[in-house]
């Protein structure tokens, strides 16, 4: 589990944490997709999370779990709103609203659940097949 703040440094830490964790699990071949999905989920959380009273800025928690045949990525934030993918109108030039569409394209499945007493956790499962 890693906590990051809303900053370039926070996102850089998230990418490093993901790559180092996957390398430690000997599944670093999953790195590119996992980093992209986790970054998109974290960016979405940062855009919609409520600020932490103590920190004064949004904070998210990142998690990774390796299971049989899949890697689960989680991002928890203090916002209660359900994540909603942007419109699928085919506009590749759109600057916002594509993150969850990218997650949908790369993940076997994704979803979210409330995190009492406030907040939510968004998760995505990536296939974790070994290299042959």
Tokens of 32: 């590119």
Task: Please say whether the structural domain 2-86+95-127 has been given the CATH code 3.30.565.10.
Answer: yes
Count of CB atoms situated within 10 Å of the CB of 107: 22
pLDDT, tens digit, 9 for 90 and up, residues 74-88 = 999 888 888 877 666
Spatial distance between the Cα atoms of 119 and 77, rounded to a whole number of angstroms: 6
For residues 66-99, b (16+ Cβ closer than 10 Å) or e, as one string? Answer: eeeebbbbbbbbbbeeebeeeeeeeeeeeeeebb
pLDDT tens readout for residues 6-55? 677 888 888 999 999 999 999 989 999 999 999 999 888 887 665 555 55
Q: What is the mean pLDDT of the chain?
A: 83
User: Taking CA 59 as the corner, what is the angle to CA 46 and CA 33, rounded to the nearest 5 degrees?
Assistant: 55
pLDDT above 70 (res 120)? yes
Q: Report which of 80, 78, 61 is spatially closest to residue 123, judged by C-alpha positions.
A: 61
């Amino acid at each position: 589990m890693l906590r990051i703040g809303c900053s370039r440094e926070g996102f850089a830490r998230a990418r490093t944490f993901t790559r180092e964790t996957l390398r430690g699990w000997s599944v670093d071949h999953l790195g590119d997709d996992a980093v992209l999905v986790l970054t998109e989920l974290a960016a979405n959380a940062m855009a919609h999370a409520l600020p932490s009273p103590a920190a004064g800025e949004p904070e998210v928690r990142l998690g990774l779990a390796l299971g049989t045949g899949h890697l689960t990525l989680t991002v928890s934030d203090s916002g209660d709103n359900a994540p909603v993918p942007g419109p699928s109108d085919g506009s590749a030039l759109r600057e916002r609203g594509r993150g969850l569409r990218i997650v949908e394209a790369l993940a076997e499945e994704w979803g979210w659940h409330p995190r009492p007493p406030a907040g939510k956790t968004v998760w995505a499962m990536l296939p974790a097949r070994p290299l042959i």
